[in-house]
């Protein structure tokens, strides 16, 4: 009785792995049947088999473009995160700085950053990746800032008492308590920001800049009717997003393994 | 002259709040001799924690003078004359048992080899030698509390302050740790100021029991237990012990129990 109700609440690991895979396979099978067997799909929707063929055939150039988009996203993520961490630390230590930054961050959070892309691309010139990287950086900044600022305020009173009673200096308290307490929050912020940075870097390519990257290729091939190739590039974009997500999730798990007692 | 671990003269504490001032403590006259074990007992809100926090210089006193080993409380804190343990163990979850015990030593710049030796000694003292590499979330509540006590003892303080350290533990663990604490106090020779809700706990542990009353928080009576130094299970069943428990209960009798505003 107990075991069944437990099993209902948290399914065993293998179910959690097998269930989404099953869903994926079922969708894939329906897709193949619809396109290749029944031939009921619109022309813009190629079969997964055709997409895979294109991907294998053009893998050299696709991986090269993936590198461009991924590095833009990564540079943006790192730069945005560094600025966010510095500003969050300032806001956490000084009320006036907090008061100044709060409306600014709120403004950045509501502006659709991608809307700025054509302007940034024009500003930095058609041959520079800088516009795209800036878009990714601004997009990544917000979740990191919000999470780090929250994390820096999570120290527990009993921990602060322990450090004060040990005559710890302000800097020591920051190093042994405030920073480790904020670390899991930083990592959640990075995990959220990493997906956003990839999307921002990719979408930014739709609005000008150099003629490379996943986004540029998708736009080009979609317009010229080469749907299979466009989808092969979409698969490349998904792969980048997955890698960013998995790496940051792993980092988050590593720093938040130890449950508070 | 006997050196005093704690010397409080006319100590009071007022918290300014938005609904006006809260008088948490007034006119506290209390001395604790070196090596003496003193318990503070009384209903919720009578200012036990507040008094302990004043002694530890975690909050400043509003009135009166408070000396720890003849110095102002703030100086005693900087000099690490006391160690403190709270009801919550307050361990850092990302540090191992050894890392938690070593924390004060690390903050005061003790060299690594000396630190390791001291941690081993302390782990032995609280019976956690086999668990030094564990993390706090892998320990029972009683073990976590023992780590907190080891950490409080790290700098060999002459005064140990404890705020209901066994309050969240089950009765069996509690009695076991009470026995351990009397042994540790005897071994280290430290004076102890021990806050508790429990009459039997106060009597079992203490040389003197300080009875407190709320609204405003103050000391109403101080009883000597007059029990000898051997604190074992036999003591818990002895007539003297029951007599002292009754005496403390009667001293607490008639003290109104605060319901609203409990902490
Ligand atoms: N930081 C604070 N601000 C306002 N009031 C407080 C604060 N700390 C304690 N008090 C008040 O002081 C009184 C004594 O509290 P406390 O020392 O925690 O009691 P005890 O530990 O005996 O239960 C209570 O009425 C409590 O509400
Ligand atoms: Mg209390």
Instruction: Count how many residues are written for chain A.
Output: 261
Hey, are the CB atoms on B144 and A261 less than 8 Å from each other?
yes
Q: What span, in angstroms and rounded, lies between the C-alpha atoms of A170 and A7?
A: 48
In angstroms, the CA A258 to CA A16 distance is 23
Whole domain around residue A131: which residue ranges?
47-258
Q: Read off the pLDDT band of B256 (50, 70, 90).
A: low
Axis-axis angle for helices A179-204, A214-223 (nearest 10):
30
Q: Do B88 and A166 touch (CB under 8 A)?
A: no
- Please report whether residue A94 resides in a domain: yes
- Is the pLDDT at B257 greater than 90? The verdict is no
All structural domains of chain B with their residue ranges: 4-81+158-262, 91-156
What mean pLDDT comes out for the span A74-78? 96
Nearest neighbour of B107 by CB, restricted to A159, A166, A180: A166
Task: Decide if A54 is inside a domain.
Answer: yes
Q: What would the pLDDT profile of A88-133 be if each residue is shown by its tens digit?
A: 999 998 888 888 888 888 888 888 777 888 888 888 877 888 989 9
**CATH number of residue A213's parent domain:** 1.10.3720.10
Six-digit token string for A54: 């294109």
Query: What integer best gives the mean pLDDT of chain A?
Result: 89
In a domain, A35, yes or no: no
Q: Distance between alpha carbon B225 and the CA centroid of its chain, in Å?
A: 18
CA distances from A19 to A12, A29, A32 (A): 11, 15, 20
Residue B148 near residue B83, CB atoms below 8 Å: no
With CA atoms as reference, report the closest residue to B188 among B46, B35, B32: B35
ipTM summary value = 0.90
- Model confidence at A225, in pLDDT bands (50, 70, 90)? confident
Model confidence at A8, pLDDT cuts 50, 70, 90, reads low
Q: Is the pLDDT confidence value at B68 over 50?
A: yes
Which of B23, B39, B45, B257, when mutated, tests ligand 1's pocket best, judged by the most ligand atoms within 8 Å of its CB? B45
Chain B residue numbers with beta carbons less than 8 Å from the beta carbon of A260 are 93, 137
CATH class of the region B4-81+158-262: alpha beta
- pLDDT tens, B116-161? 999 999 999 888 999 999 999 999 999 999 999 999 999 999 999 9
Report every protein residue that has its C-beta within 5 angstroms of ion ligand 2.
B 49
Q: Do B86 and A177 touch (CB under 8 A)?
A: no
Q: How far apart are CA B248 and CA A16, in angstroms?
A: 59
Distance from the CA of B148 to the center of ligand 2, in angstroms? 17
Q: What mean pLDDT, rounded, does chain B reach? A: 90
Q: How confident is the model at residue B2 (pLDDT cuts 50, 70, 90)?
A: low
Task: Give the model's confidence band at A7: pLDDT under 50 very low, under 70 low, under 90 confident, else very high.
Answer: very low
- Residue A128 vs residues A61, A190, A195: alpha-carbon distances, Å: 20, 26, 23
Q: Is residue A67 predicted with pLDDT exceeding 50? A: yes
Number of domains in chain A: 1
SS3 content of chain B, % helix, strand, coil (to 5): 40, 25, 35
Q: How many helices (H) and strands (E) does chain A have?
A: 12, 0
Residue B259 is predicted with a pLDDT of 53
Q: What is the pLDDT of residues B170-194, one digit of tens each?
A: 888 888 889 889 988 888 899 999 9
pTM for the predicted model, two decimal places: 0.83
């Amino acid at each position: 009785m107990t075991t069944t109700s437990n099993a209902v609440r948290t399914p065993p690991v293998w179910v959690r792995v097998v269930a989404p895979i099953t869903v994926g396979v079922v969708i894939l099978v329906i897709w193949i049947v619809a396109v290749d067997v029944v031939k009921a799909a619109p022309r813009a929707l190629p079969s997964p088999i055709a997409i895979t063929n294109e991907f294998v055939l053009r893998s050299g150039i696709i991986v090269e473009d993936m590198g461009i988009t991924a590095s833009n996203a990564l540079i943006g993520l790192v730069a945005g995160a560094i600025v966010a961490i510095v500003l969050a630390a300032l806001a956490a230590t000084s009320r006036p700085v907090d008061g100044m930054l709060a409306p600014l961050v709120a403004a950045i959070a509501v502006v659709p950053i991608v809307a700025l892309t054509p302007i940034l691309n024009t500003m930095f010139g058609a041959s520079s990746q800088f516009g795209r990287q800036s878009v990714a950086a601004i997009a990544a900044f917000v979740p990191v800032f919000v999470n780090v600022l929250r994390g820096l305020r999570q120290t527990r009173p009993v921990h602060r008492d322990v450090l004060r009673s040990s005559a710890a200096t302000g800097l020591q308290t920051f190093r042994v308590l405030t920073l480790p307490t904020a670390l899991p929050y930083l990592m959640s912020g990075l995990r959220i920001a990493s997906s956003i940075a990839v999307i921002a870097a990719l979408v930014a390519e739709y609005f000008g800049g150099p003629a490379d990257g996943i986004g540029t290729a998708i736009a080009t091939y979609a317009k010229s009717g080469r749907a299979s190739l466009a989808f092969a590039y979409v698969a490349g974009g998904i792969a980048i997003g997955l890698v960013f997500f998995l790496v940051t999730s792993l980092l988050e798990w590593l720093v938040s393994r130890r449950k508070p007692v | 002259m006997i050196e005093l671990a704690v010397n409080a003269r006319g100590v009071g504490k007022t918290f300014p709040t938005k609904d006006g001032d809260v008088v948490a403590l007034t006119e506290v006259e209390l001395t604790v001799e070196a090596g003496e074990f003193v318990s503070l007992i009384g209903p919720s809100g009578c200012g036990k924690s507040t008094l302990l926090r004043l002694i530890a210089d975690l909050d400043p006193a509003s009135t009166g003078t408070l000396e720890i080993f003849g110095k102002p409380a703030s100086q005693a804190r900087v000099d690490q004359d006391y160690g403190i343990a709270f009801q919550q163990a307050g361990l850092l979850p990302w540090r191992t048992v050894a890392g938690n015990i070593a924390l004060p030593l690390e903050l005061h710049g003790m060299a690594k080899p000396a630190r390791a030796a001291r941690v081993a000694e302390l782990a032995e003292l609280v019976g956690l030698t086999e668990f030094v590499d564990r993390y706090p979330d892998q320990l029972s509540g009683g073990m976590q509390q023992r780590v907190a006590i080891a950490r409080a003892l790290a700098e060999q303080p002459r005064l140990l302050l404890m705020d209901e350290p066994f309050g969240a533990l089950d009765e069996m663990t509690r009695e076991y740790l009470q026995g351990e604490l009397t042994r540790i106090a005897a071994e280290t020779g430290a004076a102890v100021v021990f806050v508790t809700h429990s009459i039997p706990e106060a009597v079992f542990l203490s040389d003197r029991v300080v009875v407190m009353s709320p609204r405003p928080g103050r000391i109403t009576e101080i009883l000597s237990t007059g029990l000898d130094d051997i604190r074992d299970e036999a003591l818990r069943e002895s007539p003297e012990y029951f007599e002292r428990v009754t005496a403390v209960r009667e001293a607490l009798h008639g003290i109104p129990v605060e319901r609203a505003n409990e902490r």
